[in-house]
Structure 1
């Protein structure tokens, strides 16, 4: 690694940082997608519950009885909010992927350029 210039070492470090950021974004996106599926599943289950049945909802650390319509509306709002977060993360992921590919190409070009024999012009 000592034969690699400080500029290339810096680019490799940046490449690793971008890769870590991409992993974090993908992890968050996966988590939100799971929450969306759980929320949609809860909505589906509520469709089978008769009107007037006792429905409880977590409000902070307390469970409270709520009307079915309010619980369904709350679940729909939560799912929509999570879907917006997923779309935002997808945009970030695309930007990071582009940045990663650009840095990767720069590092590859610099390393290949450094490995050429001195007489190959």
Structure 2
């Protein structure tokens, strides 16, 4: 059985690194999507609250009373920002997926090529 060449070992290491990066991106994307849902839910709840009701918002480590409109605007702004981040992560995810598939094909080809018997020409 022949040893794996350093080139193939390097490609395998790169493949693993790309896979880890993809997992990180997917994890961040999931986290942002969850935050977007939470913001939208809070916004929906605030829309059901009477205008004159007291509305509180976390500002750093302090909870402060704020006008309902400002809290809703803040939630919308944060959700929009998170949506942009998700779109950016989706682009990164697609690029990483393409890179992963390319590296995977190269490694597979190199490994299969190494197992072929030499031509008897």
Q: Which category of TM-score, normalised to the shorter sequence, fits these structures?
A: over 0.9
* Alpha-carbon distance change, 60 to 2 in structure 1, aligned in 2, over 3 angstroms: farther
TM-score (normalised: structure 1): 0.97
Instruction: Report the Cα distance in structure 1 between the residues aligned to 2:120 and 2:39, rounded to whole angstroms.
Output: 62
Partner of 1:50: 50
Query: Which aligned runs of 4 or more in structure 1 are off by greater than 4 angstroms?
Result: none
Unpaired runs of 5+ in structure 1?
none
Instruction: Report the Cα distance in structure 2 between the residues aligned to 1:118 and 1:54, rounded to whole angstroms.
Output: 80
Deviation of 1:120 after TM superposition, in Å, equals: 6.0
Deviation of 1:52 after TM superposition, in Å, equals: 1.3
Deviations 1:23-73 (A, max 9, x none): 000000000000000000000000110011100000000000000000000
TM-score (normalised: structure 2): 0.97
Instruction: Report the Cα distance in structure 1 between the residues aligned to 2:81 and 2:26, rounded to whole angstroms.
Output: 18
Number of aligned residue pairs: give it.
Answer: 121
Deviation of 1:118 after TM superposition, in Å, equals: 1.6
Deviation of 1:102 after TM superposition, in Å, equals: 0.3
SS at match of 2:30: helix
Instruction: Report the Cα distance in structure 1 between the residues aligned to 2:83 and 2:119, rounded to whole angstroms.
Output: 57
* Alpha-carbon distance change, 2 to 112 in structure 1, aligned in 2, over 3 angstroms: closer
